[in-house]
Structure 1
Amino acid sequence: MIKLIIDSGADQNTWFLEKYDFDFLPLSIILDDKQYLDKEEISLKELHYAMKQGKMPSTSQPSPGSIKEKLEKYRKNGDEVIIVSLWKEISGTYQNIQSVLDEYKDTHPEFKVALIDCRSGSVAATLIAIQVAEMIQAGYSFDEISKQAEWNATHLSIYLTVDDLNWLVKGGRLSKTAGFMGAALNVKPIISVNDKELFSENVVRGKKRVYTKLVDKIKTETSDFTEQLYLISHVDQEENAKLVEAQLKEEIPKAKTMIFEFGAVLAAHIGLGGVAVAALNEKPETYIFPH
């Protein structure tokens, strides 16, 4: 059998949990010098509460031992495995998994594992995982699925914004001066990714304007492939995600949309009120519309 594994970089919701068969490799959240496994020892609600109290969480990648334990179960079952992992430019998780897989090449060369770098995170990783899961259900081969997943990872667009610049200041991603000026002017950044880093494409004044800009960006980049699933994610601010969803449906009538919540690991860095939108920017050879 082919098994899908995702890590804490991919967002989940009730629909995703109920529809797909997958395994989860958790990263850890660190609060008050204590370490908690994502979803197993700390919930999103508990994390959001801590953040509202002004606490600044940090994160930690899975240990090589926990990765090996997870993979060993599937190797012994004779399964093939596809892992969708958090972007290697923002987390060491991918490298840790790759190191474990390098050991398997020598000791168990017959064990087939595809490690997919999602090249971002949040709902971009979720989009890749959804197509992997759909292709598994449809009976595609390991090679067909892994090849398509790699292609999808390089043809994704994701844009996000933060509601409170103080989270970027606290995390060392923005200077205190820039954070103060941005807050005073009610300026919100539009953040995207390239091959190496997160970067700010634009700054926009006002919440409604920044959401309009998010939709404009994703509409432009997906203009050749609009009959697909667009995913929206948020950090404890569903009303913000619904504003983006409403604009997206108005601008792209053929689009199907779905709302998720940022997982704990990325929420810890984006901050409360953050919103992201993601979609494929080109039609793939194989695309299964999820229902």
Structure 2
Amino acid sequence: MTIQILADSACDLSQEDLTTFQIDSIPLTVQLKESNYEDGKTISAKTVYDAMRDGESPKTSQVSPSAFQTLFELYAKKNTPCLYLAFSSELSGTYQSAKIAEKEVKENYPNWELTIIDTKCASIGYGLVVIRAAELAKQGASMEEIKQVSNYHATHMEHIFTVDDLEYLYRGGRVSKSAAFVGTLLKIKPLLHVEDGKLIPLEKIRGSKKVWKRMLDIMEERGEDLKNQRIGISHGDVYETATQLAEMIREKFEVKDIKINMIGSSIGAHAGPGTIALFFLNDTYE
């Protein structure tokens, strides 16, 4: 029996991706102008970025246990085995909501097979883990094999990103007001990464061109078997910049497979327009 791969909207996969790889994704909630929307379903990332450029400060909330319960019961009733790969528990309570719902559903469907994995990943870094799991599921791999490969990809997924305006990180509590002001004044571009699921400042660089070069340097330092990987780039409504970075990566590392997606509303609401994020494995591709 084919295993159904589940994800949430923080994986930043497009509807085309979800359809192609037969992934079922549940949306986080985006709050904008006192109204609630479903990330990627009833509000687009573009709408959120435009609102932020106009001075709005959208907020987000995790997927609720009741929403997960509804999703899980859909598959439990059909006895379809499922693997839910979750957005990092260090950045959202969505994973915890899923665990609460799992307990409730298992009381009525004790024999239903559900595995939940905290990927400790975000955006397309998370999305790449989900896609690899979905590929294996379509090939008829066992739950144990998919779990093993998913955990491997999640553990070895590097997240390197920069934001266009420190003001958005200030609003999200990531930097102080003075740091945001000084950084913007001096055109300082912060480089950040994800470590054990948490957002961690990495370096401060002055000037955009130096940032792109440094991102590639870090990729060279940390990456492994880059030529044979699927590399991920996500962007905050700056597709042209993302494609330029992709071309630099192709030239430097002879990478053939680069996936470029827009950062969705749930993550974009905190990172802001202009964000560029780069994802790759620091170990051999499996």
TM-score (norm 2): 0.95
Structure 2 residue 284 is matched with structure 1 residue 283: yes
Q: Structure 1 residue 150 and structure 2 residue 151: aligned?
A: yes
The CA RMSD measured in Å over matched residues stands at: 1.6
Structure 2 match to 1:166: 167
Q: Pick which of 97-106 and 4-13 moved more.
A: 97-106
Where structure 2 has 5 or more consecutive residues not aligned to the other structure, the ranges are: none
Paired residues of 2:7 and 2:130 also in contact (CA < 8 A) = yes
**In the aligned structure 1, how far is the partner of 2:220 from the partner of 2:136?**
26
Which residue identity is paired with 1:150? N
My pick for the range that moved more, 135-144 or 159-168, is 135-144
Mark the runs of 5 or more structure 1 residues left unpaired by the alignment. none
Q: Aligned equivalents of 1:14 and 1:66: distance in 2?
A: 20
Which residue of the partner structure matches residue 13 of structure 1?
A: 14
TM-score by length of 1: 0.93
Matched, 1:229 2:230: yes
Determine the C-alpha separation between the residues in 2 that align with 1:112 and 1:214.
Answer: 41
* 1:138, distance to aligned residue in structure 2 (A): 1.2
- Structure 2 contact 89–197 (Cα < 8 Å) conserved: no
Distance 2:255 2:126 in 1: 22
Contact 1:82 1:115 in 2 (8 A): yes
1:131 aligns with 2:135: no
SS at match of 1:9: helix
The farther-off stretch of 152-161 and 15-24 is: 15-24
Query: Within 2, Cα distance between the matches of 1:45 and 1:225?
Result: 31
The corresponding residue for 2:121 is: 120
Alignment-derived partner of residue 64 in structure 2:
63
> Is contact 2:88-2:197 (8 Å) kept?
no
Q: Distance in 2 between matches of 1:245 and 1:225?
A: 13
CA distance in 2, matches of 1:111, 1:16: 27
Distance 2:94 2:126 in 1: 14
1:45 positional shift: 2.3
Structure 1 counterpart of 2:20, one-letter code: K
What displacement does 1:212 show? 1.4
Contact 1:233 1:259 in 2 (8 A): yes
Superposed displacement of residue 115, structure 1: 1.2
Deviations 1:173-232 (A, max 9, x none): 211111111111111111011125211111111111111111221222113443111010
How far did residue 17 of structure 1 move? 3.8
C-alpha distance in 2 between matches for 1:18 and 1:218: 30
Q: Report what 1:90 is aligned to.
A: 91
Amino acid at match of 1:52: R
Match status 1:73 vs 2:74: yes
C-alpha distance in 2 between matches for 1:252 and 1:46: 35
In structure 2, relative to structure 1, the CA distance for the partners of 1:143 and 1:196 (3 Å cut) is: closer
Q: Is the 8 A contact 2:18 2:24 kept in 1?
A: no
Aligned partners of 1:17, 1:144: CA distance in 2, in Å?
A: 21
Runs of 4 or more consecutive aligned structure 1 residues displaced over 2 Å after TM superposition: 102-109, 223-226
Code of the residue aligned with 1:92 in structure 2: it is G
Q: Which amino acid aligns with 1:192?
A: H
Match for residue 43 of structure 2?
A: 42
Aligned residues between the structures: 285
Q: CA deviation at 1:12?
A: 1.7
